[in-house]
A and B are shown apart, each in its own frame.
Chain A
């Protein structure tokens, strides 16, 4: 069964090819069948592969499949090869599983009658539908290539492929100029990180002579001592790529604008899968990052800062999707925090649960947006829980999971694991832990601010459409996943909660056990169960307190919480947070405007002045000399005679 691994990325790519070439001639059900079917088959294959991988683990707990040699130049032989270990197994399950559900949702959501006003009419109603599924299939194929690649060059191909699809899908409704701007911004900002990453790859290739990930990690561990300069440089450059792709400080500005794309795109690309590619990259190259402790600490600090800053920004946004975008940035910050303290599997665990509940939140928000005629402003929503009960319940489950409601939600288990390991790990610190806890409070606040604003209070906009069966099915499935995915990894303390002997409720760490073959466990300093239990109490209390605070502020007295009734200093803070801490303003002033000024100053090509000068001189000489071409034969004869006389005179007299 493992031999069929190559089909998993191939199927979505085939789907893309078929849709891209014949999409405009197919009917809508056919397009949906191909688009959803290819990802569905890939998901089926992925689960079969997972089954055989887990039941009969291949030697070394990894399965490599080399398809062909990509190129062979002077000892540099990158292959097109797939590498399946526990880490990439989790990733393909997340990508194909969540991808399948979102494709199914999009088959309903993207129908022209649902979003007709935003699609270009000149190509007919069906044009956008097949184009959408072609891009989405290409994205899934590229993402699977990224996570299955056995060398960094192929990984980079997938990395750029998902970037391209992200660009194409953000600008999907291209008649709106703002969407095109958002797409360009996302492309350029992530390209900034990708350039750093490419340089990092060159550095690794020239110093270690290979890009094959396993060989690379072995050689790096042999050749470089911990803290070596080259290792630090390479890790820092790769971190640049991860920061750009995963929308972390200081490059997170593109993600809120990326919400210009259709909602399923935001759910799949900008929440569940692509933005977590940076987390995957760091986890995949954890040996390198372990060799560069300074960079790893930077990862943790970036994660902690990002989760705090983005959490504050999420608290004041008005657009429902922008709240979720900042929330995504903040949650990916948690993953970076975990990576930075060496809690590799905790980061991947949070990646998985986050993929479930954030996709659920986006899709439920999509159902609300669809029901309200593309209304994004949460201040024009309200009282929807009676009108859209399913969207309400699923959104509530997603928000609870995001906030980390203790015991019943997946988000609690993953976030608790991250926070506990941040406290306990040798590389962690109590400051980072405190940042994580404050972030948890912010998370609970902004997620339930959404719930109370959108679903409670006065009915502000009438509901025009209720979701149909495909949307409902997907919402229910994702809600179930958001509830039960956490049971894969139950903290150790829980086995003692009901009984003194740990044998009855066995300490279940299914997820870490599987991942242990690929990712090492963190070096833990304190392992007292009592401390862990206290920490869990604090985390749970913070989440509950945040929800309670949100209820008090946003449910009991929404008037007092509105912006206009606040003191001036609070309004200034509000504006700062609303603008995402002014990073956009900073980049605009610091980079974009000087560049535009330079471009305008150089409009006449200052550098080319010398060359255009030469060209202009020749032109002038040409015009001067062409005056002598009178067309009169006698004039020519006279000049010839004069020339002859002159020549003879020169010969005679000189």
Chain B
């Protein structure tokens, strides 16, 4: 099994992160924004795994487990909020929920 170069792995991770960020910023549907956040989280997790494999340490994979668990919790809360939002505003447009404007 040939090891993938760390640079490639990190490049992929940063591309994924950037894609997720762009998705977060350009989409107005909160559901898709949540998905974009998932992408960003997984990009971070990928960076951990790549780094762990580079130095042959299990810490990277352990950290990925944490991120997975946190992402699951986040999705649970996030989906509940989205549900509430769709009931309150009858829409999933994030710009519609801007009543906190200063």
Contact = CB atoms under 8 A, between A and B. Distances in A.
A634 B101 contact: no
B88 interface: no
A637 B25 contact: yes
Interface string A632-652: 111001100100000000000
B40 to A, nearest CB: 10
Contact of A632 (B21, B24, B95): B95
B102 A637 contact: no
A626 B95 contact: no
B90 to A, nearest CB: 18
A633 B94 contact: yes
A634 B102 contact: no
B97 interface: yes
A183 B33 CA distance: 76
B102 A628 contact: yes
Contacts of B21: 637, 641
Contacts of B28: 634
Contacts of B99: 631
B77 to A, nearest CB: 14
Contacts, number: 36
A501 to B, nearest CB: 108
A634 B100 contact: no
A626 B101 CA distance: 8
B87 interface: no
A122 interface: no
Contacts of A641: 21, 25
Interface in B11-68: 21, 24-25, 28, 30, 33
A464 interface: no
Contacts of B2: none
Contacts of B101: 629-632
Contacts of B102: 625-631
Nearest to B26: A634
B4 to A, nearest CB: 25
B93 to A, nearest CB: 10
A627 B101 CA distance: 8
Interface string A606-637: 00000000000000000001111111111001
B50 to A, nearest CB: 19
Nearest to A626: B102
Contacts of B30: 633
A637 B34 CA distance: 12
A626 B33 CA distance: 25
A417 to B, nearest CB: 86
Interface residues of B, number: 14
Interface residues on A, range: 10 to 19
A472 B23 CA distance: 105
A618 to B, nearest CB: 15
Contacts of A634: 24-25, 28, 33, 94-95
Contacts of A632: 94-95, 98, 101
Interface string B66-99: 0000000000000000000000000000110111
A398 B22 CA distance: 106
A625 B98 CA distance: 17
Contacts of A626: 102
Contact of B98 (A627, A630, A638): A630
Contacts of B24: 634, 637
B51 to A, nearest CB: 17
A286 B6 CA distance: 106
Nearest to B27: A634
A631 B94 CA distance: 10
A633 B36 CA distance: 14
Contacts of B33: 633-634
B97 A633 contact: yes
A629, A630, A634, A638 — most chain B CB neighbours (10 Å): A634
B100 A631 contact: yes
Nearest to B99: A631
B21, B24, B100, B102 — most chain A CB neighbours (10 Å): B102
Contacts of A628: 102
Contacts of A625: 102
A169 B77 CA distance: 75
Nearest to B102: A629
Nearest to A623: B102
A641 B26 CA distance: 13
Nearest to A627: B102
A630 B99 CA distance: 9
A480 B21 CA distance: 109
A633 to B, nearest CB: 5
A624 to B, nearest CB: 10
A634 B29 CA distance: 11
22 contacts: A626-B102, A627-B102, A628-B102, A629-B102, A630-B98, A630-B101, A630-B102, A631-B101, A631-B102, A632-B98, A633-B30, A633-B94, A633-B97, A634-B24, A634-B25, A634-B28, A634-B94, A634-B95, A637-B21, A637-B24, A638-B25, A641-B21
Interface of A: 625-634, 637-638, 641
A-B pairs with lowest CB-CB distance, top 8: A629-B102, A631-B98, A626-B102, A631-B101, A631-B100, A632-B98, A633-B94, A638-B25
Given A631-B99, A631-B101, 9 more contacts: A630-B102, A632-B94, A632-B95, A632-B98, A633-B33, A634-B24, A634-B33, A637-B24, A638-B25
